[in-house]
Amino acid sequence: MPNLGGEFAFIEWLRRRTPLDPRVLIGPGDDAAALKLTPNATSLLTTDMLLDGSCFRLAEAGPRAVGRKAMGVNLSDIAAMAGCPVAAVVSVGLPRQGGRAIAEELYLGLREAADAFDTAVVGGDTNSWDGPLVISVTLVGEATARGPVRRSGARAGDWLFVTGPLGGSILGRHLTFTPRVREALQLHQLVDLHAMIDVSDGLAADVDHICKESCCGAVLRALAIPIHADVQRLGDSRSTLEHALADGEDFELAFAVSRTDGKRLLATQPIAGLTLTHVGECVDDGLWIEENEQRRPLQPSGFVHSLD
């Protein structure tokens, strides 16, 4: 339902802040945005919705950080395909109380994240309602000439890597992460990426996604998994390894390459300023964690079965 006056005033505020972009033929304020995408490039399309109380707490995070995260999680999805982000549209359901101020801060946060990756914000839909803040961002990107990297191309014998330390993102990194767009593009040029995913559900779950789509299994090496310093600060009863495997919202990339390419990557570290970690291998089937040369079943939830 339209929210007259307020919505149009906000669109005007927003249009004044929208820089010219040669790829954007029609920006905010018409029935649809119009884009000039690269001819023959494969277009990528992803969407993510964030809900107050579930994906963030507005009162703690503030709307600007929520805007950055809402754009960031979509940028991370385009990174996971080794694509270039181009343009985003944003729809929001704003609480009636203070909605306009929230909308402006949200937009500034969205733009901070988008600007860092040369991504235009080209339109949206602004609503007020009696519920909590909800924001949905859809991002259009383009695959490079090498094509998009799927989850489905891993094979037994591939080496598995992650782009950074994992776990404990709930302490703040889930709001402040840097999407690995540039790193993915650089990796895509350097090696043949067989499969890739961004770590949003947790390393165990996301490696399991790769396995399911690739019809293979994986073994992760417990001592190789890089554990973020934040995990120590959590100080709860679960092991640091389980946090690194299960917490999620790290927004690092996990990917599979051939053994040869894996060795090459280790020899040319760091890549785009990041230290890559070789965390395991693809195998024929199952999801496993290996420690002291013993393999134990690993649940996609990150739960490590004891041996008995």
11-70: contacts with its own copies (CB under 8 A): 25-26, 29-37, 39-40, 42-49, 51, 53-55
How far is Cα 99 from Cα 209, in angstroms, rounded to an integer? 38
**204 contributes a contact to its own copies by CB under 8 A:** no
Residue 295 CB, nearest approach to its own copies (Å): 23
208: nearest Cα among 139, 140, 280: 280
Question: Which phi and psi (to 5°) does residue 265 adopt?
Answer: -60, -45
Q: Interface with its own copies includes 191 (CB under 8 A)? A: no
The one segment of 78-86, 99-107, 157-165, 232-240 that binds its own copies by CB under 8 A: 78-86
Length reported for the chain: 308
Q: What's the CA gap between 161 and 220, in Å, rounded?
A: 10
Task: Tell me the C-alpha distance between 283 and 280, whole Å.
Answer: 10
User: Could you tell me the smallest distance in angstroms from the CB atom of residue 292 to its own copies?
Assistant: 29
Binding residue for its own copies (CB under 8 A) from 69, 150, 194, 243?
150
Q: Does 127 bind its own copies (CB under 8 A)?
A: yes
CB-nearer residue toward its own copies: 92 or 241: 92
* 35 vs 185 by CB, closer to its own copies: 35
The yes or no reply on residue 113 touching its own copies (CB under 8 A) is: no
Which residues does 191 contact at the CB level (< 8 Å), separation at least 6? 257, 258, 261, 264, 265
Give the binding-site size for its own copies (rule: CB under 8 A). Answer: 72
Q: Residue 230 CB, nearest distance to its own copies (Å)?
A: 17
Task: Classify residue 209 by burial, with Cβ atoms within 10 Å: 0-12, 13-18, 19+.
Answer: middle
> Which C-beta is closer to its own copies: that of 90 or that of 225?
90
